[in-house]
């Protein structure tokens, strides 16, 4: 079995899909949490000076979605064929577009600009994406692709806390099919066990 290490800050956010996927597959991993003080010295050792980074038998890789897809293949959560993988990839990229649209407002440093952007985000962007994603989850019986569990469900559920944190809301509260996606993922024994034992962090 390969030796896995996840390098990230002491937050869930973009590192959590990796931790969920490794936990799902019962693959032991070193959950390395870097403090803000340690980061400047470590930054130059990371492929693009960013985290999360996954280390597989000493080889460091980056890009959270690419790493998640790789791990999904190791733990049996990829699609059965190219078309199923396309359905998974499409919804994961859509979830990520959604995340970026939230992040660009959440991290806006100018308060006046942020207020303006928040109006569009809350009145248009968030309802649009949630409705589309909820429709997809409805059409796929409580999953995000191919009417069965895949890494798309894991990815969405794992970053949901981060999306909720940025939007100061409970995004799935009024979206019953997305709630079913979350329930389907969090009721898996290995995921449940990870959630129970992981460090408690706000983000």
Taking every pair of C-alpha atoms in the chain, what is the biggest distance, in angstroms? 52
Contact between 173 and a copy of itself per CB under 8 A? no
Residue (7 or 195) nearer to a copy of itself, CB: 7
8 and 33 in contact (C-beta within 8 Å)?
Answer: yes
Given the rule CB under 8 A, which of 31-39, 64-72, 152-160, 182-190 is the region that contacts a copy of itself? 64-72
Of the candidate spans 59-67, 119-127, 171-179, 187-195, the one that interacts with a copy of itself by CB under 8 A turns out to be 59-67
State the minimum distance, in angstroms, from the CB of residue 138 to a copy of itself.
Answer: 15
Residues 81-110 that bind a copy of itself (CB under 8 A): 82-83, 85-87, 89-90, 92-94, 100, 104
Q: Could you count the other beta carbons within 10 Å of the beta carbon of residue 20? A: 30
Query: Residue 145: is it exposed, middle or buried by C-beta count within 10 angstroms (0-12/13-18/19+)?
Result: buried
Q: Nearest CA to 151 among 13, 2, 20?
A: 20
Name the one range near a copy of itself by CB under 8 A: 13-21, 37-45, 68-76, 166-174. 68-76
Q: Is 100 helix (H, G, I), strand (E, B) or coil?
A: helix
Query: Positive or negative, the Cα torsion across 182, 187, 188, 193?
Result: positive
Which of 30, 45, 61, 169 touches a copy of itself (CB under 8 A)?
Answer: 61
Residues that bind a copy of itself (CB under 8 A): 47-48, 61-63, 65-67, 69-70, 73-74, 82-83, 85-87, 89-90, 92-94, 100, 104, 132
């Amino acid at each position: 079995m390969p030796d896995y290490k996840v390098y990230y800050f002491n937050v869930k956010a973009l590192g959590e899909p990796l931790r969920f996927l490794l936990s799902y597959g019962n693959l032991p991993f070193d959950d390395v949490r870097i403090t803000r003080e340690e980061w400047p010295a470590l930054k130059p050792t990371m492929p693009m000076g960013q985290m999360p980074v996954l280390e597989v038998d000493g080889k460091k890789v980056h890009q959270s979605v690419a790493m998640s897809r790789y791990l999904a293949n190791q733990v049996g959560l990829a699609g059965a064929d190219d078309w199923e993988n396309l359905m998974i990839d499409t919804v994961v990229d859509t979830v990520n577009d959604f995340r970026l649209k939230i992040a660009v407002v959440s991290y806006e440093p100018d308060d006046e600009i942020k207020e303006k952007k928040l109006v569009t985000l809350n009145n248009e962007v968030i309802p649009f994406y949630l409705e589309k994603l909820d429709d997809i989850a409805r059409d796929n019986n409580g999953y995000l692709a191919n009417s069965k569990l895949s890494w798309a469900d894991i990815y969405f559920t794992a970053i949901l806390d981060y999306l909720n944190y940025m939007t100061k809301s409970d995004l799935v509260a009024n979206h019953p099919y997305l709630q079913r996606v979350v329930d389907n993922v969090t009721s898996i024994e290995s995921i449940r066990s990870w959630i129970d034992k992981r460090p408690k962090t706000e983000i």
